[in-house]
Chain A
Amino acid sequence: MSAGKGYLQTGCRGVTASRDWGSSMPSQIGRDELATLTGQGAQLVEVLPTGDYDWAHLPRAVNVPLKELGARAGELDRSRPVVVYCHDWY
């Protein structure tokens, strides 16, 4: 069993080491922190497709679908924190 555990740990390290994810990592937040951050000027971004956004989105959220993020990231303000969300955990 220990061999299996070691394999998984090595595999995870291998994946993260092969990508340039920048110097920090995104923080997961809940509803209370979301309210605090948006109250402090954070920009709220729904990354679901436009149809999902049109159906329902959080107040003042903008829509940048994940598939378009590379091309449209420039629409976001780099001077402000960003909060992203989709439908649920996945």
Chain B
Amino acid sequence: MSPRAAWRLEAAGFGPVYDYVAGKADWLAADLPFEGTARLAGMFTRRGVATAAEGTPVAEALGLLDAQGFGPVLVVNEAGVVMGAAYREGLAAAPGEAAVGTVMRFGVSTVRPSEDAAALAHRMGDRQVTRVVVTRSDGTLIGLFFAEDMHA
């Protein structure tokens, strides 16, 4: 739709005219501010989550988890991309000096902050999921979405 609008404005004598082709979907998925009535997952996402690198000692990661009060510990690389998640039971069962990467789970499901929050919470309820990792389109971490926060 925007290419047609851009061409029409050019034809009408406007200029220069630019087309932000990736549009609102790209903007909202990047967790950028917006105006309007939408209630998106990003608005309810907890930002201050415990994070660690794959090489972080398990004991240190457990300390981060205790300090934060909720988890899991999200394992990110140097670019902030989520590589996996380490859960308390896995961390507690491993030697304190072991690397988090040895106990983390790789297959972590993620959602974009642009998802409708109520629809996401409903879907999570159907699957008995209490929290989900929120990332931008490039995989970088935003935080954790807890379905219960929708009702807070």
Residues of A within 8 A of B (CB): 19-22, 24-31, 33-34, 37, 42, 45-48, 53-59, 61, 66, 69-70, 73, 76, 78, 81-90
Contact = CB atoms under 8 A, between A and B. Distances in A.
B24 to A, nearest CB: 5
B9 to A, nearest CB: 6
A50 to B, nearest CB: 11
B120 to A, nearest CB: 15
Contacts of A85: 2, 19-21, 23-24, 27
A83 B18 contact: yes
Contact of A84 (B15, B18, B26): B18
Nearest to B12: A73
Interface in B4-51: 4-28, 30, 32-38, 40
A86 B23 contact: yes
Contacts of B63: none
B1 interface: yes
B24 A83 contact: no
Contact of B10 (A21, A56, A78, A83): A21
Contacts of B22: 30-31, 88-89
Contact of A24 (B10, B26, B36): B10
Contacts of A29: 18-21
B90 interface: no
A66 B1 contact: yes
Nearest to A53: B36
Nearest to B33: A59
A76 B2 contact: no
Contacts of A45: 5
Nearest to A27: B18
